[in-house]
A and B are shown apart, each in its own frame.
Chain A
Amino acid sequence: MTDTQAAPAPSPPEERPAPRKAPAASGRRRARGENLAGYLFMSPWIVGFLLLTAGPMLASLYLAFTDYNLFDSPRFVGFENFTEMFSDPRWRKSVQVTTSYVLVGTPLKLAAALGVALLLNKPRRGQGFYRAAFYAPSLVGASVSIAIVWRALFSDDAVVDRSLQVFGVHVGGWIGDPDMVIYALVALTVWQFGAPMVIFLAGLQQVPRELYEAAQVDGASAWRRFRSITLPMISPVLFFNLLLETIHSFQIFASAYVVTNSKCGPADAGLVYTCYLYEQGWTNLRMGYASAMAWMLLVSVGLVTAVLFWSQRRWVHYEEDVR
C-alpha cells in the first residue's frame, strides 16, 4: 500500500532557468526524445506499479464484492461483506484496538522524536554518533527479529518485568496480559522514532537563529521560545510527520503478529486491523471479506488524512511566499 519511507522536508521551489530559444520543430523533436528517455528510465517502476500495485488493487476491489475462498471462483455478493463487518464483533474489536494503538502510539512517538531532535540539534561533541545511534532502531525496527526480541523482553519475569519490580511495580508478562499487550506494541513503535526524528532535525535546522536571539533579548524563557518560535516554525514538518506516522500506524502488522506469537491475542487484545484481515484471508480463506476490510481501511485512512489536511489551516504555518 502506501510507502512510508522518510521523504525530505518540503523545500522552497527554485527559480527555473528560462528555456533557451530554439527552432520550434527540432525543439519538439528533442522534447519528445527526452520524454521517451524519461519514460524508458521510469519503465521498470511503471511496469512494477501496473503489475504489482494497480492490478492487484483493482482485483481486490472486485473481490471485495464477492465471496471468494481462493480455490473456487469468486461469487458476487454485492455489499454483503461490508454490511457483515458492522455486525462482526471481532471486526469492531480490531477497529477499537487499532484506533487506540494509533491514538496512543503516534503522539508518543512524535513527542519522543521531537524531544530527541531538540536535544541533538545543539552542537556538541559526538553529535554524529548520537544521531546515528538514535536513528538505528528505525533501520532494524521493522524486522521480525526485533519483534522476537521484544517478545522476550516483555515476557513474564524477563528484563522489563524485573526492572519494573525494582520500582515496586508488578505487571507480570505484558504479552500474556490482555490489558497490557497493546502497550508493549506501543512501546515498540515509540522506540522506532528515528525516521521522524531525522525529519524534525532537518526542520529545526531551518529555523532562523535571529528569531531566538531577538526573543532572548526580550527575555523570553526557553519554554516560551519553544512554544512561540520553534513549534510554529516547524509546524509544516510536524504536520508532515504526523501524517506519515498516522498512516503508518494504521498499517501495523508484522510487529503485532510476531510479538503476539501469530495469534494477535490474548483475548484478541492485540487484534490489530491488518491482523484480523490476514486471519480472515489466509486462515479462514475468506478473501472477499478480507478484501472488503482492506478497502474499508484504505477509505478510513483517506478520511483521517483528509481531516488532518483540513485541520492544518488552524495550526500549520507556512511562510507566505512558500505557500
Chain B
Amino acid sequence: MTSWRNTRGLRAAGVSVVALGLLATGCGGDGGTGAGGKVEIRYSWWGGQERASLINRTIALFEKKYPDIEVKTDFQDYENFWKKFNTQASAGNAPDVFQNSVAFLRKYDDKRVLLDLSAQVEAGNLSMEHFRAGLDKAGEVDGKLVGVPVGGNTFALIYNPAEYKKIGVTPAEGWTWDEYDAATEKISKGGLPGDSGGGGIMYLYDLVLRQNGKAFFTDDAKLGFTEADLEDWWNKNYARTKAGVLTDPKKIEQAKPTSGLSKDLSAGEFTWDNFLVRYTSETKTPLAIAPVPTTDGKRTGQYISSLMLSGSARTKHPKEVATFIDFMVHDPEVGKIMGYDRGVLATEEQFDAYEPTGVSAQIAAYEKQIADNVEPITPHPAGADIVEAAFLRIAADVFLGKTSVDDGTKQFFSEAKTALGS
C-alpha cells in the first residue's frame, strides 16, 4: 500500500500521529506514481518460489540502474495466474508487465489487452536486435509486437539415465516410436513404469501429428486431425497404461503439482526442455535429456517456443514498461541470474553472458543438437488454452477408465469446437 518513507518525519510526533499519517498516505494513492515521484509499474508472472527469488534479484538490479522506476511484483502458479489475470484485465487493471506465452498471444490480442510495443521499438526504448534463432518474430501477431521472448524452449524427453542403462538403450537423435515403446516396456518390467504418460499433453500430440504431416491446429483456427486419429492415439496410450508401461494416472494426479518423473514414479516423461531445471531441484535422481522419438527416423516436428514478457494495453507508463522489458531481455547480468529457468536465454547478450553448468549445460547442448531440425511453430488460435485444458482433462478421464476412448474423443471435439468458435 504505502511506504514508510512518507511517514518517517512523523515518527517523532508519537505513535498516534504516525498511525494517522499511515492512514492518510494509504488512502492517497494515485495509481502509478510511487513514493518520491517514482513511476511504479506492476510485474506479475507464473511459477514457483524458486523462479520468484531469481526474478526478485533481477528486479533489484533494475531498480538500482533505474532509480526512478519502482517495480511491484506478484506471482501465482500457472492455473491461478490466468484466473487472476482475467479478473484484472477485464476490469482494465492488468499488470503493466506480465509473463506470457505463445498459447495466449492471439487470445489476449483479440481482446485488446496487449500493448503493441512496435512504437516503443521505434522510439528506441526497446531493442529487438540480437535475438537468437528467429525468436525476434515469436511475439508478433498480425504485424504487431505483443510479446518479447525471454527464453526459448522446445519439447524433449527428460529421463532417468540409470534405468535406460539397465536395459542397454541409449536414447539418441533419430530414434523411433517403436524403439521408444519397446524400451519403456522393458524398463517397466523392472517395476518402474517407463513413462509418466503423455497421452493428454497437447504439445506432444502436436509433434506426433507433425511427424505425420498434420498439426494440432490448422492455420484457420481449427483442429488439424480427425476423431479417428485421436482414437488411435488414446487407444495406444490407454493400452500402455493398463499394461503398466505408463504410470497409474491416479498416482500422477496425486503427485501434482510435482511431476511424476521427479516423484520417481516413472523413468521418463515428455515435457519442455527447461523443466529439467525444475525437475532436478525436485528429485535426487540424476536426470538427462533426449530428443523426441520420430516416426520415420528423421522428422521430430520440433519447434522453438518461448516464454515472453508482454505489456498491458492500458498501462499509463508504456515507456517505462518498454525500458523494463528491454533490460530484462538484454542485460547480461539478468541472464546470469535467470539461467535457463524460463528456457534457453533469448538474446545473444544474455546467452553469451551465462555459462551453463550442470543441468543448464545439458539443456544448452540439447538445443544445439536439435537446432538444425527445428521447424516453424504451429499458430495457436484464440481458445488454444481452453482446448489444451480440455485435452488434458478428458485424457485423464479416459486413462483413469472413467470414460471410453470413443466418448472421450467425441466430448473433446465438441468442447474444442466451442472453444475455437468453429
Q: Residues on A close to B: CB < 8 A? A: 69-72, 89, 155-156, 172-173, 175-178, 261-263, 265-269, 282-285
Contact = CB atoms under 8 A, between A and B. Distances in A.
B111 A72 contact: yes
B165 interface: no
A267 B256 CA distance: 14
A263 B255 CA distance: 13
Interface in B216-246: none
B257 interface: yes
Interface size range of chain B in the complex: 20 to 34
A300 B90 CA distance: 30
Contacts of A262: 77, 79-80
Contact of B250 (A69, A173, A268, A284): A173
A175 B257 CA distance: 13
A66 to B, nearest CB: 15
Contacts of A155: 254
A175 B253 contact: yes
Interface of B: 77, 79-80, 82-83, 86-87, 89-90, 111-113, 249-257, 386, 389, 393, 396-397, 400, 402-403, 411, 419
A282 B86 contact: yes
A261 B256 contact: yes
In the A-B complex, the 10 residue pairs with the smallest Cβ-Cβ separation, listed nearest first, are A176-B254, A176-B253, A70-B90, A71-B111, A267-B402, A173-B254, A266-B253, A176-B250, A267-B397, A156-B254
A121 to B, nearest CB: 41
B257 A261 contact: yes
11 contacts: A173-B250, A175-B254, A176-B252, A177-B250, A261-B256, A262-B80, A265-B253, A265-B393, A266-B400, A283-B83, A283-B386
Instruction: Among A155, A261, A267, A284, find the residue whose CB has the most chain B CB atoms closer than 10 A.
Output: A267
B372 to A, nearest CB: 38
Contacts of A261: 256-257
B87 A282 contact: yes
Q: Is the interface of B mostly helix, strand, loop or mixed?
A: helix
A177 B411 CA distance: 21
A24 to B, nearest CB: 48
Contacts of B396: 265-267
Contacts of B113: 71
A320 B396 CA distance: 58
Nearest to B252: A176
A89 to B, nearest CB: 6
A69 B111 contact: yes
B202 to A, nearest CB: 16
B254 A71 contact: no
Contacts of B83: 282-283
B253 to A, nearest CB: 4
A269 B250 CA distance: 12
A110 to B, nearest CB: 31
Contacts of B86: 70, 282-283, 285
Nearest to A157: B254
Given A69-B111, A177-B250, A178-B402, 5 more contacts: A172-B251, A172-B254, A263-B393, A267-B400, A282-B83
Nearest to A181: B253
Nearest to B110: A71
A267 B89 CA distance: 30
Contacts of B112: 71
A175 B252 CA distance: 11
A261 B258 CA distance: 11
B397 A268 contact: yes
Nearest to B253: A176
Contacts of A284: 386, 419
A266 B419 CA distance: 21
A219 B89 CA distance: 71
A268 B253 CA distance: 12
A284 B383 CA distance: 8
A263 to B, nearest CB: 7
A178 B399 CA distance: 12
Contacts of B397: 267-268
Contacts of A175: 253-254
A261 B254 CA distance: 9
A144 to B, nearest CB: 12
A81 to B, nearest CB: 13
A124 to B, nearest CB: 42
Contacts of B411: 89
Contacts of B89: 70-71
Contacts of A267: 393, 396-397, 400, 402-403
Contacts of A89: 411
Contacts of A176: 249-255
A165 to B, nearest CB: 16
A71 B85 CA distance: 12
A285 B386 CA distance: 10
B180 to A, nearest CB: 26
A322 to B, nearest CB: 48
A266 B90 contact: no
Given A71-B113, A282-B87, A284-B419, A266 B249 contact: yes
Contacts of A265: 253, 393, 396
A284 B386 CA distance: 6
Contacts of B87: 282
Instruction: Among B89, B254, B393, B411, find the residue whose CB has the most chain A CB atoms closer than 10 A.
Output: B254
Contacts of A173: 250-251, 254
Nearest to B399: A267
Nearest to B84: A282
A178 B254 contact: no
A176 B254 CA distance: 5
A156 B251 contact: yes
Contacts of B251: 156, 172-173, 176
B86 to A, nearest CB: 5
A160 B389 CA distance: 30
Contacts of B111: 69, 71-72
Contacts of B419: 284
Contacts of A266: 249-250, 253, 396, 400
A284 B415 CA distance: 11
A15 to B, nearest CB: 48
Contacts of A156: 251, 254-255
A71 B90 contact: yes
A249 B90 CA distance: 30
Nearest to B250: A176
A284 B87 CA distance: 12
A284 B403 CA distance: 23
Contacts of B402: 178, 267-269
A283 B402 CA distance: 24
Instruction: Among B87, B89, B393, find the residue whose CB has the most chain A CB atoms closer than 10 A.
Output: B393
Instruction: Among A176, A263, A268, find the residue whose CB has the most chain B CB atoms closer than 10 A.
Output: A176
